[in-house]
């Protein structure tokens, strides 16, 4: 594909506004993260999610070796965390991990999922990892970070009509 067509494709995909996540593997000192917006829920029964990871990303072989990964959904104030795990760290702004069911996830995330790797699918220059969710954390009162046209934005929850915001944070273990 010509360079201009590649750019058009990227720009068109960028019109699809998404949330922003950090995918992690390992725990403690061995924790490793990568910012990803290619995240989606796939199935409710069983509970499945999917992420798309570049073959060249350092986390790719780590997920394949560990057969596990976690996904943290970033809140509005976590733009620097998103840049950090996209290879652009700010000096003095080291993100903090915390534990969810033995996995390192991002502290202060709006939601987090820990997953066993269920399927590893080749897709062009990416791998699609389908994960079976084993545990989740919800902090529903947090406003999400949004990625749109290569830029970050926030969502003002109070501006969404009829939205019910649960204040309570929950951790749930799934079967």
Give the interface with ligand FMN as residue ranges (CB under 6 A): 20, 34-38, 52-54, 57-59, 82, 86-87, 147
Nearer to ligand FMN, 48 or 101 (CB): 48
CB of 36 to ligand FMN, least distance (A): 3
Token pair 């109070």: residue: 158
CB of 138 to ligand FMN, least distance (A): 22
Taking the CA atoms of residue 101, residue 173, residue 35 and residue 93 in that order, the dihedral angle to the nearest 10 degrees is -50
Nearer to ligand FMN, 49 or 164 (CB): 49
Q: Which residues pair with 19 in a beta bridge?
A: 146
Nearer to ligand FMN, 58 or 174 (CB): 58
Nearer to ligand FMN, 97 or 147 (CB): 147
Max CA pair span of the chain: 50
CB of 57 to ligand FMN, least distance (A): 4
Nearest one of 70, 51, 74, 68 to 130, comparing CA atoms: 51
Nearest one of 117, 102, 141 to 60, comparing CA atoms: 117
CB of 88 to ligand FMN, least distance (A): 8
d(C-alpha 97, C-alpha 84), whole Å: 13
- Which two tokens mark 98? 């915390």
């Amino acid at each position: 594909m010509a360079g201009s067509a590649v750019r058009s494709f990227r720009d068109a995909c960028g019109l699809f506004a998404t949330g922003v996540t950090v995918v992690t593997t390992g725990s403690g000192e061995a924790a490793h993260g990568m910012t990803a917006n290619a995240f989606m829920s796939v199935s409710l029964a069983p509970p499945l999610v999917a992420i798309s990871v570049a073959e060249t990303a350092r986390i790719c072989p780590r997920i394949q070796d560990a057969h596990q990964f976690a996904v943290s959904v970033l809140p509005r104030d976590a733009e620097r965390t998103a840049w950090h795990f996209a290879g652009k760290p700010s000096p003095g702004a080291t993100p903090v991990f915390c534990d969810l069911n033995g996995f390192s996830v991002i502290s202060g995330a709006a939601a987090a999922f820990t997953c066993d790797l269920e399927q590893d699918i080749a897709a062009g220059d990416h791998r699609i990892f389908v994960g079976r969710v084993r545990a989740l954390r919800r902090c529903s009162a947090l406003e999400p970070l949004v990625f749109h046209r290569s830029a970050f934005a926030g969502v003002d929850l109070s501006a969404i009509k009829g939205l019910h915001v649960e204040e309570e944070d929950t951790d749930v273990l799934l079967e």
